[in-house]
Structure 1
Amino acid sequence: MDAKQLQQVLEAVLKQQAQTTSTANNATLASALSGRITTFNYDPENGSTFESWFKRFGTLINDDGKDLPDASKVRLLVGKLGEEEYAKYSNSVAPDTPDIITFNDTVKNLKLLFADTRSLFVRRFECLKIKQQPNQDIDSLIGQINAACENANMALTKEDLKCLIFIIALRDDAHDIRQKCLQILEDARIKKKSINLKELAEECRAYQLVKESALSLNNPRADTNAIRAKPQHLKDKGGKQNQKFVRHFAKAEPKLTQTSQPRGKPTHACASCGRTDHWRNDCRFKDVTCNKCKKKGHIAKVCRSTYTANSISIVQKPVKSFFTINNQGEWWKVNVNINGSSHRMNVDTGAQATLITTQLWNKLGKPTLFSADIETMNCNGQSFATEGKFDCMVSYNNSTPIELTAYVSQAVKHDLMGIPWIKELEVIPKEIMKPCHLQSISANLPITDKNSLINSLQTNFSDVFGKELGHVKKFKAHLYLKHGATPTFCKARPVPYGALPAVNAELDRLVEIGAIKPINFSHWAAPVLAVKKKNGKTRICIDFSTGLNNALELNRHPLPRPEDIYMALNGAKFFSRLDLRDAYLQMELDEESKKLCAINTHRGLFQCQRLPFGVKSAPSIFQHLIDQLISGISGVFGYLDDIVIASKTSKDHTKTLKLLLKRIQDYGLKLQLEKCDFLQEKLLFLGHVVSPEGIKPDPGRSEAIRNMPAPHDKSTLRSFLGALTYYGRFIKKMREIRSPLDELLKKEIEWKWTETHQKAFERAKEIMLSDLLLTHYDPKLPIIVAADASKDGIGATISHVFPDKTEKVIEHASCTLTAAQRNYSQIEKEALALIFAVQKFHRMLYGRKFTLQTDHKPLV
Structure 2
Amino acid sequence: MNTGEEIEGIDVTDMAQALNEDLAHNESVSGILQHMQEEIERLKMENISLKQDLSRTNCYQEAGTEQSTVLHCASVTQDEPSLPPEYSDFKDVFDPVKASVLPPHRSYDCRIDLIPGAPLPNNRVYALTDKETKYLRTYLDDLLQSGFIRHSTSPVSSPLFFIPKPDKSLRACIDYRGLNKATIKNKYPLPLIPVLLDQLRHSTVYTKLDLRGAYHLVRVKEGDEWKTAFKTKFGLFEYTVMPFGLCNAPAAFQFFINEVLHEFLDVCVIVYIDDILIYSKNSEEHTQHVRAVLSKLKENHLFAKLEKCTFNVNKVDFLGYCLSPQGITMDIKKISAIADWPEPSSVKDIQKFLGFANFYRRFIAHFADIAAPITTLLRKGQRFLWTDEAAHAFQLLKQKFTSAPILKHPDPDLPFFVEADASQVALGGVLSQRDAVDGQLHPIAFYSKKLLPAEQNYTVAERELLGIKVAFSEWRHHLMGAKYPVTIFSDHKNLQFFGSLKALTPRQMRWLNFF
Q: TM-score range by the shorter chain?
A: 0.7 to 0.9
| Structure-to-structure mapping, 1:183-222, within 5 angstroms | none
Q: Which amino acid aligns with 1:857?
A: K
Equivalent residue for 1:854, pick from 465, 490, 495:
490
Q: Which amino acid aligns with 2:203?
A: A
1:731-754 CA-to-partner distances (Å, cap 9, x unmatched) read 001122111112222235432222
Corresponding residue of 1:525 = 157
* Alpha-carbon separation, structure 1, partners of 2:446 and 2:360: 10
Q: Which amino acid aligns with 1:807?
A: L
* Alpha-carbon separation, structure 1, partners of 2:120 and 2:155: 6
Q: Which amino acid aligns with 2:487?
A: T
1:222-249 CA-to-partner distances (Å, cap 9, x unmatched) read xxxxxxxxxxxxxxxxxxxxxxxxxxxx
1:343-371 CA-to-partner distances (Å, cap 9, x unmatched) read xxxxxxxxxxxxxxxxxxxxxxxxxxxxx
Structure 1 contact 580–641 (Cα < 8 Å) conserved: yes
1:571-627 CA-to-partner distances (Å, cap 9, x unmatched) read 111111111111101111122210111010121111101000110111111001100
Corresponding residue of 1:489 = 122
Corresponding residue of 1:619 = 250
1:115-143 CA-to-partner distances (Å, cap 9, x unmatched) read xxxxxxxxxxxxxxxxxxxxxxxxxxxxx
Structure 1 contact 585–610 (Cα < 8 Å) conserved: yes
Does the alignment pair 1:628 with 2:259? yes
* Alpha-carbon separation, structure 2, partners of 1:774 and 1:535: 36
* Alpha-carbon separation, structure 2, partners of 1:821 and 1:662: 54
Q: Which amino acid aligns with 1:821?
A: E
Q: Which amino acid aligns with 2:345?
A: H
Corresponding residue of 2:394 = 761
* Alpha-carbon separation, structure 2, partners of 1:500 and 1:452: 37
Corresponding residue of 1:807 = 441
* Larger RCO of the pair (alpha carbons < 8 Å, separation 6+): 2
Alpha-carbon deviation of 1:537?
6.0
Flag the 1:840–1:831 CA change in 2: closer, same or farther, 3 A. same
Corresponding residue of 1:594 = 225
Q: RMSD between aligned alpha carbons?
A: 1.8
Corresponding residue of 2:110 = 477
* Alpha-carbon separation, structure 1, partners of 2:444 and 2:116: 47
Alpha-carbon deviation of 1:477?
2.1
| Structure-to-structure mapping, 1:367-406, within 5 angstroms | none
* Alpha-carbon separation, structure 2, partners of 1:607 and 1:855: 63
Does the alignment pair 1:657 with 2:290? yes
Q: Which amino acid aligns with 2:96?
A: K
Secondary structure in 2 aligned to 1:575? strand
Equivalent residue for 2:209, pick from 556, 561, 578:
578
* Alpha-carbon separation, structure 2, partners of 1:764 and 1:472: 50
Q: Which amino acid aligns with 2:232?
A: T
| Structure-to-structure mapping, 1:54-453, within 5 angstroms | none
Secondary structure in 2 aligned to 1:670? coil
Corresponding residue of 1:49 = none
Secondary structure in 1 aligned to 2:420? strand
Corresponding residue of 2:467 = 833
| Structure-to-structure mapping, 1:699-848, within 5 angstroms | 699-803=332-436, 804-848=438-482
1:91-114 CA-to-partner distances (Å, cap 9, x unmatched) read xxxxxxxxxxxxxxxxxxxxxxxx
Alpha-carbon deviation of 1:809?
0.4
1:746-804 CA-to-partner distances (Å, cap 9, x unmatched) read 23543222222211111111111224321101111110011000011110110011224
Alpha-carbon deviation of 1:487?
2.7
* Alpha-carbon separation, structure 2, partners of 1:740 and 1:477: 46
Alpha-carbon deviation of 1:527?
0.6
Corresponding residue of 1:374 = none
Structure 1 contact 728–734 (Cα < 8 Å) conserved: yes
* Alpha-carbon separation, structure 1, partners of 2:136 and 2:409: 45
Alpha-carbon deviation of 1:455?
3.6
Structure 1 contact 472–667 (Cα < 8 Å) conserved: no
Flag the 1:494–1:825 CA change in 2: closer, same or farther, 3 A. same
Corresponding residue of 1:463 = 92
How many residues are paired up? 407
* Alpha-carbon separation, structure 1, partners of 2:192 and 2:220: 27
Structure 1 contact 784–850 (Cα < 8 Å) conserved: yes
Corresponding residue of 2:68 = none
Corresponding residue of 1:687 = 320
Corresponding residue of 1:543 = 175
Flag the 1:680–1:538 CA change in 2: closer, same or farther, 3 A. farther
* Alpha-carbon separation, structure 2, partners of 1:483 and 1:758: 52
| Structure-to-structure mapping, 1:670-681, within 5 angstroms | 670-681=303-314
Secondary structure in 2 aligned to 1:591? coil
Structure 1 contact 733–794 (Cα < 8 Å) conserved: yes
